Amino acid sequence: MECNRIEELLPAYLDRELDAAESAQVEAHLRTCRACASLSALLAEADAALAAFPDVEPGNELKKRLAAIAERKPRFSLLAVLRRPQLQPALAAASLLGIVASLYLLNPNRREFDKTIVRAFHRGVGKVETLYSRAGSVTDTIGAYAENFYASLRMITPPDRDKKL
């Protein structure tokens, strides 16, 4: 393997994340290449030094400042209320309604628009009435057919059987 490839593998090699074959290849390379062996040692040294980085205390002054933030009375924030996830579907519906309402209310040809709506409404009512009357005539026709069918049946049926019926 070339040094560039070994360099790429070194972090995983040190973390013992390579499979046995790759690990053996890296080890063999490190035995013969001083530059890569040196880089591997430095990487291990850097890893150990980073892991041992000390934590620093924030200092009392900062802690006091942070405590003061916590003690501040929470201000009412409309934005915070509006951003609550539970309100999102209601807000989306209200926004849609608002858009529709503004399209109607701010329309410069509102009177014409009203007339169109009334015309469409009446046309709709007319259509419903037509459909209703057609449905009535279909019912009548079916009734007439049923009556004829019943009369025919009575004529075919023998008299004694007719009595039973």
- d(CA 35, CA 65) in angstroms, rounded, equals 51
* Structural Rg of the chain based on CA atoms: 44
Distance CA 62, CA 56 (A): 13
Cα separation, 112 vs 114, whole angstroms? 5
Taking a C-beta distance cutoff of 8 angstroms, is the pair 29, 1 a contact?
yes
The span from the CA of 100 to the CA of 3, in Å, is 67
Q: Which is nearer to another protein, 44 or 131 (CB)?
A: 44
Shortest distance, CB of residue 94 to another protein, whole angstroms?
21
Is residue 158 a contact residue for another protein (CB under 8 A)? no
Q: Which of 24, 66, 92, 131 binds another protein (CB under 8 A)?
A: 66
Residues 74-133 that bind another protein (CB under 8 A): 74, 77, 80, 83-85
Residue 65 interacting with another protein (CB under 8 A): yes
Residues that bind another protein (CB under 8 A): 7, 10-12, 38-39, 42-43, 45-59, 61-63, 65-67, 69-70, 72, 74, 77, 80, 83-85
